[in-house]
């Protein structure tokens, strides 16, 4: 059974600080997606990483896929209150197009 461990589970920091969220697995994924979920809404895709070592940037958010495609990280620079939310990673297995393996999520609170 493939597992995707996400850490930390909860993070509360001050506006302007930097942070990193991790998703780790012993399994190889064909791609990995990051979603953000705000209260009262469903998850919304932020980015998909496909190639080992790939780095994608979305404004102050930097996403990296590990060289071996087993892990990924999300780094936020100078966090803003608008970054508050639940961040979820989801990996696509090598043998299945749509059966995503989900991390448990990181609840992020950015205090003004």
Partner 1 sequence: EAQVTQNPRYLITVTGKKLTVTCSQNMNHEYMSWYRQDPGLGLRQIYYSMNVEVTDKGDVPEGYKVSRKEKRNFPLILESPSPNQTSLYFCASGRGTGTHNSPLHFGNGTRLTVT
Long-range contacts of 55-61 (CB under 8 A, 24+ apart): none
Is residue 98 near partner 1 by the rule CB under 8 A? Answer: yes
Stretch that binds partner 1, among 12-20, 58-66, 73-81, 94-102 (CB under 8 A): 94-102
Give the helix/strand (H/E) hosting 21: strand 19-24
Is residue 45 near partner 1 by the rule CB under 8 A? Answer: yes
Q: Residue 57's CB: how many other CB atoms inside 10 A?
A: 12
Site string for partner 1, 1-40 (x = CB under 8 A): -----x--x--------------------xx-x------x
């Amino acid at each position: 059974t493939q597992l995707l461990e996400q850490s930390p589970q909860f993070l509360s920091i001050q506006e302007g600080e930097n942070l990193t969220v991790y998703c780790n697995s012993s399994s190889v994924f064909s791609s990995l997606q990051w979603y953000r979920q705000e209260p009262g809404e469903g998850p919304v895709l932020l980015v998909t990483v496909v190639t080992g070592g790939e780095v994608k940037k979305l404004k102050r958010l930097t996403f990296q896929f590990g060289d071996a495609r087993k892990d990924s990280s999300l780094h936020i620079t100078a966090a803003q209150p608008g970054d508050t939310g639940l961040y979820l990673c989801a990996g696509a297995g090598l043998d299945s197009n749509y059966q995503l393996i989900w991390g448990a999520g990181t609840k992020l609170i950015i205090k003004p």
